[in-house]
Amino acid sequence: MRELYELRGADPELLFSPYCWRVRLALHHKDLAFVSRPLRFSDKQPLLACSGQQLVPVLCDGEAVVHDSLAIFQYLDLSYPERPLLGSGVALERARLVERLVFQAVRMPLLKILLPRVFALIDPADREYFRSSREKALGTTLEAFADPAAGTEQFRVAIAPLQTWLSEQPYLDGAEPGGSDYLVAGLFLWAWCLGEQPWAAGTAVDGWFQRILATYQAQHGPVKRA
Ligand SMILES: N[C@@H](CCC(=O)N[C@@H](CS)C(=O)NCC(=O)O)C(=O)O
């Protein structure tokens, strides 16, 4: 049995973690079935203990227990070599670089937009933990940090290179989607599932996102959106 531990909102069908979305897209790419184990922040401690840490995604695949989205991509490529996500050697290093660059550029702008949405949509039992853990990490209150207008402008600037790249080819990885696409699209799905779309409709990035979403939904059905 293959199980994916992931985060859910107050609505158990609302899955909003960017890193869990990466893994869902990667499992879809490999055509690997899995059972979803959606957790609230307040459920996760005993259930994730087998992974030796407290963050999702965690993939349990038979005897293997793997955490961290990039490590899961590498595990999937090693265990299921057909349709590689990242490849190996230089290709793997390049994919890791893409992940770092995009993560650094878009995570903070997205957080400025999405923090209030996450807080509103998680289970009320999770709110105290969410507030205290995030305020400690950010060094300020959720209210002082959140700035959707500034986040949207910073996001637009951060994705400008992706707009150019994707106006020249359909996917970040070329003619077909690959690991780089899913590493980035997971962050976009974070926003989309929470009911936000900080990129403009009709742009090259929007076309890319809609292609990835449509391919996923064609197999898995509609993605729950707040
Ligand atoms: N580098 C990790 C990051 C995982 C991570 O930060 N997960 C968040 C959800 S988006 C989490 O589990 N948070 C639980 C908590 O804060 O207690 C990955 O790529 O998987």
Domain spans of the chain, in order of start: 2-79, 90-220
CA 24 from chain centre, in angstroms, equals 9
Mean pLDDT in residue range 163-175: 97
**pLDDT score for 223:** 97
Q: Could you tell me if the CB of 41 is within 6 A of ligand 1? A: yes
39 pLDDT higher than 90:
yes
d(CA 158, CA 175): 23
User: What value does the mean pLDDT of the chain take?
Assistant: 96
d(CA 144, CA 135): 10
Q: Could you tell me if the CB of 10 is within 6 A of ligand 1? A: no
The percentage of residues in the chain with a pLDDT greater than 90, rounded to a whole number, is: 96
45 pLDDT higher than 90:
no
**pLDDT score for 164:** 98
d(CA 191, CA 178): 21
Check whether the bond before 84 is cis (ω within 30° of 0).
Answer: no
Q: Helices 69-79 and 179-193 meet at what angle, rounded to 10?
A: 140
Of 136, 107, 133, 108, nearest in space to 122 by CA: 133
Mean pLDDT in residue range 37-50: 89
Mean pLDDT in residue range 8-22: 97
Name which residue leads in pLDDT, 8 or 45. 8
> 209: CA distance to ligand 1 center in Å?
22
**pLDDT score for 21:** 98
**48 confidence band (pLDDT: 50, 70, 90):** confident
The sign of the torsion formed by the CA atoms of 143, 144, 145, 150 equals positive
**pLDDT score for 26:** 98
Please give the model's pTM, rounded to 2 decimal places.
0.97
Return the CATH fold of 90-220: Glutathione S-transferase Yfyf (Class Pi); Chain A, domain 2 (1.20.1050)
Mean pLDDT in residue range 167-188: 97
**46 confidence band (pLDDT: 50, 70, 90):** confident
Nearest protein CA to atom 13 of ligand 1, as residue: 55
Q: Could you tell me if the CB of 38 is within 6 A of ligand 1? A: no
Q: Could you tell me if the CB of 7 is within 6 A of ligand 1? A: yes
Q: Read off the tokens for 70.
A: 């990039």
Residues 6+ apart with CB under 8 A from 213: 189, 192, 223
pLDDT digits (tens, 9 = 90+) for 106-150: 999 999 999 999 999 999 999 999 999 999 999 999 999 999 999
The percentage of residues in the chain with a pLDDT greater than 70, rounded to a whole number, is: 100
Mean pLDDT in residue range 190-195: 98
CATH code: domain 2-79 is 3.40.30.10
> 55: CA distance to ligand 1 center in Å?
4
* Pocket-testing residue among 55, 107, 114, 190, ligand 1, by greatest number of atoms within 8 A of Cβ: 55
**pLDDT score for 121:** 98
Q: Could you tell me if the CB of 182 is within 6 A of ligand 1? A: no
